[in-house]
Amino acid sequence: MALEALSPDHLYSNCDLSLFEFETTADLADVAGLVGQDRALDAIQFGISMEKAGYNMFVLGAPGAGKRTAVTRFLQASISTKPVPDDWAYVNNFATPNKPTALKTGAGRAEVLRSGVSALIEDLQGSIPAILESEEYKKRLMAIDAHYAQHQGQAFETLRITAEAKNVTVLSTPSGFAFAPQREGEVIKPEEFNELPEEERERIKETISELERELAEIFRHVPSWEKERRQQVGDLNREVAKNAVGRSIHDLAAMFEGNDGVAAWLALLEADLVENISLFTLDEREQMMTPSGPMPASALVEDVFRRYSVNVIIENGPNVDPKPTNGNATSDFIGGGAPIVIEEHPTFTNLIGRIEHLSQLGALLTDFSLIKGGALHRANGGYLLIDAMRLLREPLAWEGLKRALRTARIVLETPGDYLSLVSTVSLEPDPIPLDVKVILFGDRELYYMLAQADPEFLDLFKVAADFDDQIDRDAESDIFYAEMIATICRRDELLHLTPAAVGRVIEESARFAEDAEKLSLLIGPLSDLIREADLYARGDGADAVDAPHIQRAIDGRLHRSDRLRERSLEAITRDIVMIDTEGAVVGQINGLSVLSLGQASFGRPTRITARVRMGGGNLIDIEREVDLGGPLHSKGVLIMTGFLSAHFAVDTPLSLSATLVFEQSYGGVDGDSASAAELVALVSALAEAPLHQGYAITGSINQLGQIQPIGGVNEKIEGFFDICARRGLTGDQGVLIPHANVKHLMLRHDVVDAVERGVFSVYPIETIEDAVTLMTGIPAGMRDEFGDFPPHSLFARVEQRLTAFAETQRAFNNSSGEKAGGS
Amino acid sequence: MTADLKSTALSQDTPHKIVIEAEAFAVEPQALAFATRMAAPIGARLVGCFVENQALMDLSDLPFASEVSASGTVRPLERERLIREWQGQAKQAENALATAAVSAGLDWGFEVRRGKPLFSMLDVVEREDVIVLNAVGRLTAASEVTKAVRTATHDIRADVLLTGRALQKSGMAWVEPNTTLVVLDDLTSRGEACCHAAEALALKAGMNCIPLRPQNLDLQEVADLVRRLSPNLVIADSASKLFAKDDDVTKFSKAAGCPLLLLGSERELTGSQGLPDQTS
């Protein structure tokens, strides 16, 4: 039975506008949820509810599927029931300053601690100097100094009196003291001394030596007396400071009753304040120097008391105004519950936090007050949303995030420290416990690549929320689409659409989905189309967007990206690229392919030729021979070989040498959608039956000769149609497509119109027999009960040709063998 | 500032001098500042005096002479080294004095004498001069200090400022606005003149002048009272009954814990002592 072409009804599926009972989409409410994403939404719900470690989420799907919107909406609904997370702050570790202490303070309490400590220090800056200037303190200090001065003076005075009693006086020298013999209050002159008896002289010398030893002993005690004096002054200062500081600390500690961490640190703060009370005196600060001289007064106070500041890293609570740490990140605190943080620039430091440095006189200095939190800090206790591709592009970010999730801690270190490139002393802040659910967004390829290449990935991201790209096209989905369009128009403040416009959008969505029975769920491109139509409608002064505006938007988009297609068409119509659309040629056929570059995607014909001769059973794919053929293409050729060898002259060795080539193709070929065309060309070459050049064919073939569906069927048909139309339709032109692709047809109106007028045809084929019969006009033939093809059938001619090759081959081999044996 | 105003000779026609013992401002830099502030408004000449102890020189000639350093090390006392060190100390003191004097636009001089400390310095002091001495923390017997003070105030009739390591307010000048000046009034005419002089100084310096009229209080009690007031300076008449005993002056100076300006006896104490104005 002759194969019948498709009727126009099969080529395009119109939207049933009778479903829409509205004037414009303004009459419709916003879409309630996401239709067709039940699986993904169930996964999101599960992932949010599962609070165990490792149940982070990867939301996968094509861009524009509304993944982030859906997730955010889910989170908004759930976070208000979650507790507000604790605040965290870094404070000075007085014992080990390079290991700052992390303090948990309770939600909204970090600022209370910070301001409380700041007020305490400010208060002490007034009260401690006043105490140190008080009469009581000065009296006690003077008493200590007087005691030691007296003690020291007493020792000297005792020695002096002892010396006087022995007629020796003490004299002050430029660098110490000396003992001189005296008589009647006057030092003995040398000549007088020499006149003294020897015994007397010796006695004086001995006395003076003894006094010198005593004086030296006194001097050796002076440092220990001074040390005692300093200790007593220190004790006095500590006592005074404890009284002053203790009261204020106690009041502050009472505000954090029950918080052991804060209480412990406040105790250390008190001890440090007591030990360093001298910082509160102007004299002590005035002595502070930098390498280039005295520290400027303005910097003194701030710098000196920085050790007591509180660096709030994470701040939560109902009154917190979210502040992004960089220009790209945003965070939302909705309903006062757990935070939702969207990190748009997920670098290592933006995620983990960083330790800043100050440059002072050529040196880089840092301390706990220069620690800055990252997205993980802000999202702690809540949710962190990240684009997976952006994350993977940033050096160390992925590893840093995994480590944080794996250890459930945020360890602050610089990238240099992380890579062990830096050996200078730096900060090692206390890690902060991490309780966050990370939600990554990405396409499917990325998800499967990570699952395959990273052994940790599936352990840490156990939940995959797979967003579908399409839904079934039916009445319910048409209405959902209309509601979705209404939502977009309202959200983006666009003109609403008429039912006809909605219908056109739905049809274009099916075209975008490459399936007449499906609608695309990629909201991004849909929104773009409506926005562009809005521009045209407003330009026309219309109140609503109508179908022609949608069509203009579609045409405009095509036109803007059409340069490549035009050049391709021009190359063919000018015979630069040789494509026949009339006549018949043996072993030459029009295959079809789709070229996608940027926003341009169009079909175009390619000449495929086949040549055969007797040979050793080789089917040479020239594209593969020169490494222009990809693996899928090669697979198709091998399948074709399998069909041939199984279908024809099965009892005869395949004595065929054939070559197949995509003529004028220099850029590489992959995919098996042209394998049917190649087989038809080969059959034509074997049977020496010309192929109708007014037809083009697309389809993949299996070893049984069945035609399998392919992609891009609409573009391929339109690509060949455009060539035929440019040259003038003859009425005897068309495209052969796999029958399974009929449901995917959403052809342009001009193509449908041409079919309606009977000047172009689209044929659905199911087997290679359908294809060769249509393209040669000769029935393919089926084997009878004797296993023979009908005489003069196409396949009979093929088999005869192959048998002839085999016999010729055998004869040639015999002849060669006789010649060799005879010589 | 004018160029070097140093003069090595003192003439009888020289106006008031402030003679400051080199050891005094080596121990207490405020002493030089005070002397400068006193000299400026009255155009007095600032004279420093470094005394090389003759007794030490004599001792150095003895074969066994040695000195004990502050670290407890004993080493021979060598004459040449002694002279070199004296010269170095004297030069340092002279430079410090010159700097202070030139900054204040004062005429200045520096004397190096050899003889008995304190007493050799009195050779350059005249009536109504002011002598600045270090009374605290020196090895000189208190009686020697008292004797020198008495010679200066009673014989020469000069004023004496006794300094030492002050126990309070290090870093603050003695003559400072809004600080306290205490004057001891023994209810005699000289005591009254002393009060007038003190009030004049306080007025010029913006200080608070508190007269104390201690009746039936002994020296220690008065010193305690003064200490409680925590003044920057105490002014008293050198012939006051309070200092009946020889070493009372030095005892009081130590006990009061602040510098003591003793006004020389038999001077006509006018309302304007010519003491430094705080604003000059």
**Confidence category of residue A482, pLDDT binned at 50, 70, 90:** very high
A 200-219 residues inside an 8 A Cβ radius of B: 205, 208-209, 212-213, 215-217, 219
Q: What is the pLDDT of residue A360?
A: 75
> Quick check: B47 and B11 in contact, CB under 8 A?
no
> Quick check: B115 and B54 in contact, CB under 8 A?
yes
**Confidence category of residue B157, pLDDT binned at 50, 70, 90:** confident
User: How many contacts (CB atoms, under 8 Å) link A and B?
Assistant: 93
Collapsing DSSP states into helix, strand and coil, what is residue A265? helix
Long-range (24+ apart) CB contacts under 8 A made by A258-264 are A259/A104, A259/A105, A259/A106, A261/A103, A261/A104, A262/A103, A262/A105, A262/A113
A789 has pLDDT over 50? yes
**Confidence category of residue B14, pLDDT binned at 50, 70, 90:** very low
Q: What angle do CA A510, A514, A515 make, to 5 degrees?
A: 65
A542 has pLDDT over 90? yes
Q: What is the pLDDT of residue B188?
A: 85
The full DSSP string for A700-766 is: EE-TT-BEE--S-HHHHHHHHHHHHHHH---SS-EEEEEGGGGGG----HHHHHHHHTTS-EEEEE-
A299 has pLDDT over 80? no
Q: Do B56 and A173 touch (CB under 8 A)?
A: yes
Collapsing DSSP states into helix, strand and coil, what is residue A286? helix
Q: What is the pLDDT of residue A728?
A: 94
Q: Token match 């009727």: residue?
A: A7
Q: Cα distance from B60 to chain A (closest Cα, Å)?
A: 9
What tokens appear for B180 in the block?
């306290």
Q: Token match 């004790």: residue?
A: A235
Question: Out of A146, A153, A219, whose CB is closest to B70?
Answer: A219
> Quick check: B149 and B248 in contact, CB under 8 A?
no
Q: Do B55 and A205 touch (CB under 8 A)?
A: no
Q: Which residues of A are catalytic?
A: 673, 716
> Quick check: B160 and B63 in contact, CB under 8 A?
no
Q: Token match 């390079």: residue?
A: A98
Q: A573-598: per-residue pLDDT in tens? A: 999 999 999 999 999 999 999 988 87
Ramachandran class of A176: left when φ > 0, alpha when ψ lies in -120 to 50, beta otherwise: left
Q: Which amino acid is at A272?
A: D
**Confidence category of residue B144, pLDDT binned at 50, 70, 90:** confident
Using a CB-CB cut-off of 8 Å, the residues of chain B touching A149 are: 137
The residue in chain B having the minimum alpha-carbon distance to the alpha carbon of residue A164 is: B141
Q: What is the pLDDT of residue A336?
A: 60
Question: Other CB atoms closer than 10 Å to residue A394's CB: what's the count?
Answer: 17
Which residues, listed in sequence order, are joined to residue B27 by a DSSP beta bridge? none
Compute the distance between CA of residue A804 and CA of residue A413 in angstroms, rounded to an integer.
79
Compute the distance between CA of residue A442 and CA of residue B1 in angstroms, rounded to an integer.
82
Q: Do A193 and B62 touch (CB under 8 A)?
A: yes
A759 has pLDDT over 70? yes
Q: A150-173: per-residue pLDDT in tens? A: 777 788 888 888 998 998 988 888
Using a CB-CB cut-off of 8 Å, the residues of chain A touching B88 are: 174
**Is some CB atom of chain B closer than 8 A to the CB atom of A650?**
no
Using a CB-CB cut-off of 8 Å, the residues of chain A touching B230 are: 135, 138
The full DSSP string for B167-209 is: SS-TTS-SS-TT-EEEEE--SSHHHHHHHHHHHHHHHHHTPEE
Q: What is the pLDDT of residue A405?
A: 96
What tokens appear for A110 in the block?
């970090």
**Confidence category of residue A391, pLDDT binned at 50, 70, 90:** very high
Compute the distance between CA of residue B132 and CA of residue B61 in angstroms, rounded to an integer.
32
B29 has pLDDT over 60? yes
Using a CB-CB cut-off of 8 Å, the residues of chain B touching A217 are: 72
Q: Which residue has the higher pLDDT, A473 or B164?
A: A473
**Confidence category of residue A389, pLDDT binned at 50, 70, 90:** very high
Question: Out of A142, A178, A186, whose CB is closest to B77?
Answer: A178
Q: Token match 């020792």: residue?
A: A155
Q: Cα distance from B114 to chain A (closest Cα, Å)?
A: 14
pTM score over 0.80: no
A742 has pLDDT over 90? yes
- Per-chain mean pLDDT for chain A: 87
Question: Out of B56, B139, B228, whose CB is closest to A156?
Answer: B139
B12 has pLDDT over 60? no
Collapsing DSSP states into helix, strand and coil, what is residue A343? strand
Average pLDDT over residues A769-778: 94
**B249-279 burial, b if ≥16 CB within 10 A, otherwise e?**
bbbbbbbbbbbbbbbbeebebeeebbbbbbe
Q: What percent of chain A has pLDDT over 70?
A: 93
Q: What is the pLDDT of residue A199?
A: 92
Q: A674-703: per-residue pLDDT in tens? A: 889 999 999 999 999 999 999 999 999 998
Using a CB-CB cut-off of 8 Å, the residues of chain B touching A165 are: none
Q: Which of A387-401, A629-643, B125-139, B199-213 has the highest mean pLDDT?
A: A387-401
The residue in chain B having the minimum alpha-carbon distance to the alpha carbon of residue A152 is: B137
Q: A182-201: per-residue pLDDT in tens? A: 888 788 888 888 898 999 99
Q: Are strands A695-697 and A588-597 parallel, antiparallel or unpaired?
A: parallel
Q: Which residue has the higher pLDDT, A572 or B252?
A: A572
Q: Which of B28-42, B108-122, B174-188, B246-260 has the highest mean pLDDT?
A: B108-122
**Is some CB atom of chain B closer than 8 A to the CB atom of A173?**
yes
Q: Cα distance from A120 to chain B (closest Cα, Å)?
A: 27
Q: What is the pLDDT of residue A237?
A: 85
Collapsing DSSP states into helix, strand and coil, what is residue A52? coil
Q: What is the pLDDT of residue A68?
A: 87
Q: Cα distance from B56 to chain A (closest Cα, Å)?
A: 7
Pick from A265-274, A755-764, B76-85, B220-229: least confident: B220-229
Q: Do B85 and A172 touch (CB under 8 A)?
A: no
Q: Are strands B159-163 and B130-134 parallel, antiparallel or unpaired?
A: parallel
CA distances to A60, A540, B267 from B192, rounded to whole Å, are 102, 109, 12
3-state secondary structure A638-705: HHHHHHHHHHCCCCCCCCEEEEEEECCCCCCECCCCCHHHHHHHHHHHHHCCEEECCEEECCEECCCC
**Confidence category of residue B225, pLDDT binned at 50, 70, 90:** confident
Q: Cα distance from B70 to chain A (closest Cα, Å)?
A: 6
Q: Do A160 and B138 touch (CB under 8 A)?
A: no
Q: Which amino acid is at A517?
A: E
Q: Token match 């009254």: residue?
A: B192
A392 has pLDDT over 80? yes
Residues in chain A: 823
Q: Do A219 and B168 touch (CB under 8 A)?
A: no
Compute the distance between CA of residue B104 and CA of residue B100 in angstroms, rounded to an integer.
6
Name every residue whose Cβ is closer than 8 Å to that of residue A157 and which is 6 or more positions away in sequence.
none
